[in-house]
Structure formats: structure tokens, C-alpha cells
Amino acid sequence: MNPDGLGQSLPTLPGRAFCFRWLGEADLPELQEIFGDADVVRFMALTRLTNRKQAQRFLNSILQGFASGTLYQWGLEYRGRIIGSCTLAAIDRSHRRAEIGFALARRFQGRGLMAEAVPLVLDFAFKQLALHRVEADVDPRNKASLVLLEKLGFRREGLLRERFTDEEGFQDSLMLGLLSREWCNANRPAASGGN
Ligand SMILES: CC(C)(COP(=O)(O)OP(=O)(O)OC[C@H]1O[C@@H](n2cnc3c(N)ncnc32)[C@H](O)[C@@H]1OP(=O)(O)O)[C@@H](O)C(=O)NCCC(=O)NCCS
């Protein structure tokens, strides 16, 4: 049973032209397409999904994360299709914090979609889950992610040297953080779902 009393599934977070919603078996082809793209997963601590079985395991871990309340991953639906996702991972109720992650199918990148969509999840994190802090662990080479996070108010807090490996060798992690009071007091338009 989900520890946040969310029932059987994550709530839909509606925006203007898209929404974040619960993922299911019908979304496996889109999940495989998004997370099977080497360019999308390049800076994510994730093994590329190369077949349906891996996509099913990926979906199973999302469902298990929901049941245990440790990982909430929404699909981003746009024009009837899942084109990306946003995740609150490592949810820690004692310290009221979580780690945010996001990904968009390559053809939808670079249009400012996530800057419009991620606020829906941040609102949920700070207002519904009453988290105190949301953090992000970013590969410093991932410029789009850094621009997006800083646009949303995240601050760079520290560089962890050679923290993980990829095919190019050991890579640093840049830690960013956003506090509840910073998000709730920021002078910005209400979260919306883009155009
Ligand atoms: C990170 C990601 C979700 C951003 O979403 P998006 O909707 O494409 O983001 P935007 O279109 O708002 O672009 C973000 C900003 O980065 C900038 N940007 C993109 N690539 C850049 C680069 N190589 N160098 C500098 N800036 C870059 C864009 O110009 C934009 O800035 P602007 O709004 O001031 O013009 C998307 O790129 C993605 O899915 N990447 C792959 C998965 C991933 O790396 N996830 C994050 C793991 S921490």
C-alpha cells in the first residue's frame, strides 16, 4: 500500500496541452522508444532499453517504486502519446527530500516543454508530499539539464568528483538543490502544461 495514501496510482497532473499521468502496459512501446535512445540516456544512470522485456522490467520497477513510495515516475502525455517522463526518486520521508529526474523523446527536446511541465511535479513534491528539498544529480556535460534546473530555481551546491563511470571513464556529479520556501516564494507564473 502506497505510504502517501495515493491509492492505486499516481494522480494525473494536468497542464494546458499535456499532462503527467500514470504509466501502464499500453505505454511500453513509447517507453522503449524514449529510453532506448542512446542520446536520451547518455547522461542518465540508466541502461538503454533495447527490447520489450527490458521495457517491461523498467515499468515493473516504476510500479514497485510507487507501491513502496520510494520512486514516483509520471509519463508526460502529449497529443495522446507518452513523449517523456519526470521522476521523484529516493523519496525520503524522514528528511523530506527527493531527487528529481526527467527525460524527453529526442524529437520533442529543445522546445521548452520540460520548463513548462516540471513545475507540475515540483508543485506536487512541495505541496502534496510536503517535501522540504528536491535535489538533482547532474552530469556537468548535460548543459540542457543544467539550464532547465537553474531556470526553475535550483542552485548548484557542489561538485562530486569522479562519482560514476560511463564508456568515456569516470564522470563528476554536479549536485543542485531547491528548497520548499524557494519554490513556494518564487515570483513565477502558476505551473502549466505548455502549448
Ligand atoms: C534535459 C531535458 C529534459 C531538457 O528538456 P527540454 O524541454 O529539451 O529543455 P529546453 O528546450 O527548455 O532546453 C533547455 C535549455 O538548455 C539549452 N541547451 C540545450 N542544449 C544545450 C547545450 N548543448 N549547451 C547549452 N545550452 C543548451 C536550451 O537552449 C534551453 O535553454 P533556453 O530555454 O534558455 O533556450 C532534455 O534535453 C532531455 O530529455 N535530455 C535527455 C535526458 C536527460 O539528460 N535528462 C536529465 C538527466 S539529469
Q: Please list the rounded mean pLDDT of every run of 10 residues in the chain (195 residues).
A: 94 95 98 97 93 98 97 97 98 98 97 95 98 98 98 98 94 98 83 50
In this prediction, residue 77 carries a pLDDT of 98
In this prediction, residue 59 carries a pLDDT of 98
Q: How far apart are CA 123 and CA 129, in angstroms?
A: 9
| Binding-site residues, ligand 1, Cβ < 6 A | 40, 43-44, 101-104, 109-115, 138, 142-145, 147-148
Q: Report the nearest-CA residue for atom 19 of ligand 1.
A: 144
Q: Ligand 1 center to residue 149 CA distance, Å? A: 9
In this prediction, residue 192 carries a pLDDT of 55
Q: Which atom of ligand 1 is nearest to the CA of 113?
A: 7
In this prediction, residue 190 carries a pLDDT of 59
Quickly count helices (H) and strands (E) in the chain. Answer: 6, 8
Give residue 12's Cα distance to chain centre.
Answer: 15
**What DSSP assignment string belongs to 92-121?**
ETTTTEEEEEEEE-GGGTTSSHHHHHHHHH
Cell of 43: 547522461
> Could you tell me whether strands 97-104 and 133-138 are parallel, antiparallel, or unpaired per DSSP bridges?
parallel
Cell of 158: 557542489
Q: Ligand 1 center to residue 114 CA distance, Å? A: 8
In this prediction, residue 40 carries a pLDDT of 97
In this prediction, residue 54 carries a pLDDT of 97
The enclosing H or E element of 63 equals helix 52-68
Q: How far apart are CA 25 and CA 106, in angstroms?
A: 22
- Torsion sign, CA atoms 82, 85, 91, 97: negative
Q: In angstroms, what CA-CA distances link 108 with 10, 67, 87, 174?
A: 24, 30, 18, 25
For each of the domains in the chain, give its residue range(s) and CATH number, in order of start: 13-185 (3.40.630.30)
List of residues 6+ apart from 192 with CB closer than 8 A? 15, 16, 116, 119
